[in-house]
Structure 1
Amino acid sequence: MDHQLSRLGKQGKPNYCLMLASLLCLFSFWADSHRAYAQNGPPKGPTVIGSAWQEPSELSISNEYLRVDVNQRGQFIIRTTGGDPDVADDNDKPLLYSEALPDTGLTSDLWTSFSTFRYCAHISTGCNWSYDTSHEASSAAYQRVRDGRLITMYGVGSYIPCTAIVRRTIEFVENPLTGREDMVEISFRFFDNDYMLPRPVGAPATICTSAEYLAVREDVGVRLMLDTMIGENDDAPFYVPSTGYTSNQHNFANDNIPDYFRVFESESFSSGLQAVGILNIDTSNTARPDRFLIANWENIFAWSDNLDPKDKATYWDITPEVGIPHGDSAVAIYWDRIRLGSTDDTMKFRYGLAPRVDGEKWLDAPVIVDQMNRYDCFFNLVNRSNEPYTDGVAQLNLPAGLAVANVMVNGAGLAPSQTITEAIGDLAVGASMQIHWQIE
């Protein structure tokens, strides 16, 4: 296989530091829970297309920024509708791969982004921690739109007596980088098989209430596969904190998983449509991912040569060769072991529009903050000049009432409203760096 250009599974697709004197970071906040959107106005509610529980069918939700379509199997795409209100050329553009039918605006394929699961319910049989040996794709059992959310129910583990039910929810949420609902949250939660009503035709009425089953609550896993395509670029390059700009395959695990990543339409990272994925969602019941992969789509999909990829997918445990060009780009997010009934048994990932940056220096931070909470502020710098960058300094000016949390400079704590200066040092040509401040 040619790892730089691999399109066996999607035939017919088109091929498509600068010196820093100072950085001013100003934030505003509200004491109460009311949030005013002076520039953007209040977000519009989702447009619901389809309703009520039904046999799997194609469903959609949309708002003024994004649209999500889900097919009968639960596979999905995300596109812009109006996109960024301040950008004129990002309407009706893909953030995940979709191939439009000529002169119709409809999509012919929604199957390249999807979810797979693993589950073991019986203590007597043990768990081999691999997906079902037939490598069958997970199929949606029921789908509906409720309160602007796309809800898909999966039956997992049909080869064992006690089948589990997975509920996947796709909904629009506020994007912390824009203050608009131009971001999609994809969440998962497992339930016992007596949770879902009505049952599929022919499904057994068994309710797993054995003492053995209830005592064990075996571990479960989720893998979310996204076929990243930003605008016209299906080989979309990435920016990953601590790694920098990259068009190569990567395998991040555990503490090395970044909090977020950016994906670009432009190979120069300085123009065109941009997306952001948020991996670390800090809530009380949300589990952090165990692995995050950037790789060629086919390498992550990894079907058997004798199977039709639209009907059969996908090996669970994929380890791509790192450091080689990814070509047709995709990501996979793994939650390997989630204990049923634990306090962090919900899995979440967010993906949406990213504010456009110049590709050289920018700040990633919330545009609306709560005075009572701590939040992250990331300054990113890339030396895209032809000369080494030396003796750089970043400066952060905080307004009254805000302070950097738990930071010491020369043995002294930083006071509110104090100007914070941090040395960048030297940066080689093409190198990148990131400064992370926690503000409270």
Structure 2
Amino acid sequence: MGKMVRKRMNKIEIFLKIFIILILFTGIQAVSMSAMAIEGDLKSKEAIRSLSSDVVVLNNSYIEIAVSQIGRFTIGTTGGDPATHQDDNKILLFGHPVPGTSFTTIRIDDSNFEYGSSGILVEPPIISDNSIVSKWRIKDIDVTQRLSPVKSSSGYEDTVRISYIVKNNGNRTQRVGTRIMMDTMLGNNDAAPFRIPGYGAVTKETQFNGSRIPPEWIAYDSLSNPAVTSRGILKVPERLAPDKFILMNWARIYGTKWNITTIPEENGDSSVGIWWYPDNLEAGQSRTYTTYYGIAYIQITPKVLTVGLNSRPSVHQGDTFTITSFIENTGDLKAENVKVMISLPSGLELVSGETQVRSIGNLKKHDSGQASWNVKAKSPGTLVYQVTAASTTTGIYQTIAYKQVNVIPGPIPPVPELSTALLISGGLMGLFGLSRLKRKTLIIENAIRQKIRFHFKP
């Protein structure tokens, strides 16, 4: 117990040091505002902020990225899932919007270098092409970090693409690899539990290698009644797949730059590590390492057979989309012959070849399974579908879960939304507003996280 307290205190001390530095740098500043036009791409949908000269922030209506001058980053929500207010302005990585406890290692010829703390700064973090971009040079290797909000399967820009581009500027082949460590925190839960689709809940340190690495992972503020959920994507076509993936205790991995071994204990203060093993990088050659982290849209119905439903919150009429159900046996009895059945309202229909009922099989205590259906949106409206999970085991009652999807009539062109840039430097703050206001209430907070946002939800 004493060790865990000391580990927790170490983390708090790190965060407080960063916080105090920002306070001393920012000071108490008078704020003046002026409105003017923004130069650049008017079609972009981000709101851009700089917090003092130390943290650069990029956000849109769903998600926010903050990057320090040494390249450490955090991620949080703004509006989050449009269907609920519960995940508005929530933390997805610890400390947001003050980075500090997540970092990336670049491994070159058996030596480890922390991005932002090793080598020479070539380009400090700037906003470029709807991304926060920075570059460091380590020996003969240029490393570019690019963090970009991108569209997920939801159709929204609610996910951050985290990329590192390494280029060998030397005259010989070097072996280069990368490790990304993210300190997960969902809402107020710094011990956020994980779930791997098709694998189940993960509460103890767990390692996946090679082909066993799952395509994605999910984190929650609570497994039984989540209000904030996030999703990491590990495998994407035409992207270099990682070689190792670990879910583990943050205090243990934070003290390392590369090697770490899992132990069969609870995660506690949770984090993830993603490795790409070193490989030859010839002179003049470049390589990109990419992972994704953002908002998940999973609705949980907690019972003995707990059901989680995941689907895009909005689709267009005529679209085909996927509904996935996750089923976990949270009871003490073995759930035999578990089956799930989907019931669709008028306006949604199963794609040809899909069956309404899927067999999961037997689920022992804490075992989980999943089933997916491809569905076509035929008619517009706010539609609610139903998934029922049932077992033949006496004493385990069926669970009925519901989730809604908004079907938008026909394809519609993108509409420019609020684009806001906020610059804070030496007491001067400039506010630039473009296009329609997506939110109605102007909030100005004079604190370490000085911010201006327009809030609107119908």
Q: Give the TM-score band, short-chain normalised.
A: 0.5 to 0.7
- Which residue identity is paired with 2:179? R
Paired with 2:273 and 2:324, the residues of 1 have a C-alpha distance of 24
Are 1:347 and 2:289 matched, yes or no? yes
Equivalence map 1:231-380=2 (5 Å)? 231-266=187-222, 268-282=223-237, 284=238, 286-302=239-255, 314-321=256-263, 323-340=264-281, 345-358=287-300, 360-364=306-310, 378-380=324-326
2: distance between equivalents of 1:376 and 1:137?
43
> TM (normalized to structure 2)?
0.64
Specify whether residues 166 and 393 from structure 1 end up closer, same or farther in structure 2 by C-alpha distance, changes over 3 A only: same
Where do 1:129-168 residues align within 5 Å?
A: 129-131=110-112, 137-138=117-118, 140-142=121-123, 143-156=125-138, 158=139, 163-168=140-145
Per-residue deviation at 1:136?
Answer: 9.3
Distance 1:74 1:138 in 2: 11
Aligned position for 2:49: 49
Equivalent residue number for residue 186 of structure 1: 162
Distance 1:169 1:135 in 2: 12
Q: What is the aligned partner in structure 1 of residue 89 from structure 2?
A: 92
**How much is the aligned-residue C-alpha RMSD, in angstroms?**
3.8
Provide closer, same or farther for how the CA distance between residues 166 and 12 of structure 1 changes in structure 2, counting only shifts above 3 A: closer
Check whether the contact 2:325–2:372 (CA below 8 A) recurs between aligned residues.
yes
**Counterpart code for 1:318:** I
8 A contact 1:153–1:167 mirrored in 2: yes
Deviation per CA, 1:11-64, whole angstroms, max 9, x where unpaired?
3599xxxxxxxxxxxxxxxxxxxxxxxxxxxx971123359xxxx942111111
Change (3 A) 1:147 1:363: same
1:242-275 deviation line (CA, Å, top 9, x unaligned)? 4311221111111111111110111x43222111
User: Displacement of 1:2 after TM fit?
Assistant: 6.2
AA of the residue aligned to 1:114: F
Cα gap change, 1:400 to 1:432, in 2 (>3 Å): closer
Check if 1:383 corresponds to 2:349.
no
SS at match of 1:299: helix
Secondary structure in 1 aligned to 2:165? Answer: strand
Local SS of the residue matching 2:86 = coil
For 1:434, the equivalent position in structure 2 comes to: 370
Alignment check: 8 A CA contact 1:50 1:144 kept: no
SS at 1:10 equivalent: helix
Deviation string 1:145-194 (CA, Å, 9 cap, x unpaired) is 112210121222x3xxxx10011110101121x2211111101211134x
Identify the residue that residue 112 of structure 1 maps to in structure 2.
101
CA distance 1:82–1:402, change in 2 (3 Å): closer
Deviation at 1:332, TM superposition (A): 0.7
Distance in 2 between the 1:423 and 1:79 partners? 37
Which consecutive residues of structure 1, in runs of 5 or more, have no partner in the other structure? 15-42, 100-106, 120-126, 194-207, 303-313, 404-415
Contact 1:338 1:345 in 2 (8 A): no
Asked if 1 retains the 8 angstrom alpha-carbon contact of 2:167 and 2:285, the reply is: no
SS in 1 for 2:251: helix
Task: Tell me the alpha carbon deviations over residues 267-320 of structure 1, each in whole angstroms, 9 at most, x when there is no partner.
Answer: x432221111111111x2x10011111111111112xxxxxxxxxxx4311122
Q: Residue in 1 aligned with 2:401? A: none
How far apart are residue 241 of structure 1 and its match? 2.6
Q: Return the structure number with greater strand share.
A: 2
Output the TM-score relative to the length of structure 1: 0.67
Structure 2 stretches lacking a partner, 5+ long: 16-42, 377-458
Q: How many residues align?
A: 338
Taking the aligned partners of 1:98 and 1:8, their CA distance within structure 2 comes to 14
Q: How does 1:74-93 map to 2 (within 5 A)?
A: 74-93=71-90
Task: Give the letter aligned to residue 227 of structure 1.
Answer: D
